[in-house]
Structure 1
Amino acid sequence: MSVLVVGSVNVDITVRASAIPAPGETVLGPAAQVSPGGKGANQAVAAGLAGAPTALCGAVGADAFQEVALRGLRRAGVALSDLHRLAEATGLALITVDPHGENAITVASGANAAVGPDHLPSTLAGISHLLLQQELPEAVTLAAAQQGRAARVRVVLNAAPARVHADLLPLVHHLVVNEHELEAMAGPGEHAAQAARLLARGPEVVTVTLGARGHLTVTGSQTLTFPALAVPVVDTTGAGDTFCGVMTARLALGEPLDRALRAAGVAAALTCTRPGAQDAMPDWAEVQAHLA
């Protein structure tokens, strides 16, 4: 079966610097890298590279940045019939990466902010998994989830950034958060207990990504924990998006939850070994080699 991603499309402008600047501080870097990004586009690229037929619903501007924004999607074979070209500028993300691979990101939403529920596809025929994030307007994400539930499609939500409409979680089958988003949504506590509190609000599965400490997943009957693949970290940009896209793709292809989660963790780690987001994502053959 196939994956539909409803989400943002950006161009990333990345500077590698000696440190992430503090308020009021100027930090110098040698050069800027201009590359495709946006959480929706990133996750669609990851899903496509992981082998699942994948489509993207989102928007770019009718400007020079759109070609950069679409480069990775085309490389991954993502279907773009539901991609809209709007009057607003293509979204931009300004990213600073420090020598340890950590990053700070500021996003200018541009065309992403102009996407409305009327831009969603009229049917989800042939779609088994709907992958959502939180960089589009809240009304779009909610309407997409409602459409997915009504069509009996598995709804996967990456709650990033961690602002969730009260009506959204009951529509979600699988919630993915990092530990900061987890605490914002569930309050302080031990990760499995926090995830269990989110289960009580509607999702059937909650996955928590923990960076270098791996990831854990809680369902109504089990807790699955996975260590991170040890890799030399160059840049963590896009690792979480890789995780979400690969996990959803492998689930759509019929793999059991534990195998899909393991593959997602390996793919996310491999993304950290190269600079950039989409440009750093591994193809399925590379993931398989490390799984073996």
Structure 2
Amino acid sequence: MKNKILVIGSINYDLVVYAQRHPIPGETILGNRFYTFPGGKGANQAIAAARLGGNVQMVGHIGNDAFGQELLLNLKKNQVETQLVRKVKEPTGTALITVDAAGENTIIVVPGANATLKKADIDELKDTIREAKILLLQLEIPLEVVIHTIDIAHSFGTTIILNPAPAAQIPIETLRKVTFIIPNECELAFLSGKETDTFANCRQAANYLFALGCQQIILTRGEHGAYYLSQDQQIFAPPFKVSVVDTTAAGDAFIGGLAAALAEDLELHTALFRASAAGALAVTKAGAQTSLPDRIKLETFLSKHQQEVKTTKNQLESNQNYAEIKRSKK
């Protein structure tokens, strides 16, 4: 099916501690709560898109252990196709997450089985990549595999979405082949080597990448909203006002929401609007995949925030019209 969203990425088991604050190096503090959640950026984005109506297939490796079996069942429960999820000898990947009272998190990922994905595995999937409408990638699997996958997908004309997290040095010739690069401010700084402490600096960092041949960037800035950026266009997606509990999977919810909307051939400004709403909903609940909204919850949220929805739509459409006028003058 040509509307398929193919996710090639990590499948992790998250071990999450909630504390009043993050400890400093060498310090021991007491936490408030401890939970385990299914996670991994790849699996998170796959489930985020599937819950919002996307036709999603997951490619990844898990260990032949209890964590892996639980994660596999969870993907199936969320209507993600798992025929290409393989069990390997290495243990299932894990993520150690701490969340403070403000909902801000720090994450250490132990790749485990995720690190066993090879270029040869991707070569076996060329037909699957060719048939996909959208390919979603992150950097919790080996970078050489990501680069190889992008090369193959680009040769087929597949829409490629790359979430460059955790940040890594990616060859510029690879970034040029990506349809949408979706970093946060830290990841944009890493890719560009520029400061991103203000939006003006973020724009300059993006312009630097455009000068090198990158196509389109969607910058996520948390409570400051999201921006679609290209050489001659800028669209701002304002944030929704919500009570923050845990920001762990906000970016994954946004990306999954965007992919689901684009797979339905929705306009870019509408896709950004729905992605922002999905990200906002995700921060109101604890955990990664447990916080990802389904389509009913998203529509209910949009209905309850009608005034914000109206304002956001007007802003997005205004930005879109401005960008079209700007292009027409060139």
The TM-score by the shorter chain falls in which range?
over 0.9
Q: Deviations over 1:231-279 (max 9, x none)?
A: 0000000111111111012111111111111111110110000000101
Cα distance in 1 for partners of 2:297, 2:67 equals: 30
Q: Report matched runs for 1:134-153 at 5 Å.
A: 134-153=139-158
Matched, 1:41 2:43: yes
Contact 2:14 2:36 in 1 (8 A): yes
Cα distance in 2 for partners of 1:98, 1:71 equals: 30
Match of 2:21 in 1: 19
Equivalent of residue 126 in structure 2, options 122, 126, 130: 122
Contact 2:20 2:32 in 1 (8 A): no
Match of 2:223 in 1: 212
Q: How far does residue 164 in structure 1 lie from its aligned partner after superposition? A: 3.4
Which amino acid letter does the alignment assign opposite residue 126 of structure 2?
S
Matched, 1:181 2:187: yes
Which amino acid letter does the alignment assign opposite residue 262 of structure 1?
F
Cα distance 1:202–1:3, how it changes in 2: closer, same or farther (>3 A)?
farther
Contact 2:130 2:153 in 1 (8 A): no
Cα distance in 1 for partners of 2:58, 2:139 equals: 15
Contact 2:130 2:158 in 1 (8 A): no
Q: Which runs of 4+ in 1 moved over 4 A?
A: none
Identity level (%): 37
Contact 1:36 1:71 in 2 (8 A): no
* TM-score where L is the length of structure 1: 0.96
Q: Deviations over 1:203-239 (max 9, x none)?
A: 3210110011111111233100121111000000011
Secondary structure of the residue aligned to 2:182 is strand
Q: Report matched runs for 1:1-292 at 5 Å.
A: 1-120=3-122, 121-123=125-127, 124-166=129-171, 167-186=173-192, 187-188=194-195, 190=200, 191-292=202-303
Q: Which has the higher strand share?
A: 1
Bigger Cα Rg: 2
Match of 2:325 in 1: none
Contact 2:176 2:215 in 1 (8 A): no
For structure 1, the 5+ residue unaligned runs are none
For structure 2, the 5+ residue unaligned runs are 304-330
Q: How far does residue 71 in structure 1 lie from its aligned partner after superposition? A: 4.2
Cα distance in 1 for partners of 2:214, 2:289 equals: 28
Contact 2:217 2:228 in 1 (8 A): yes
Which amino acid letter does the alignment assign opposite residue 132 of structure 1?
L
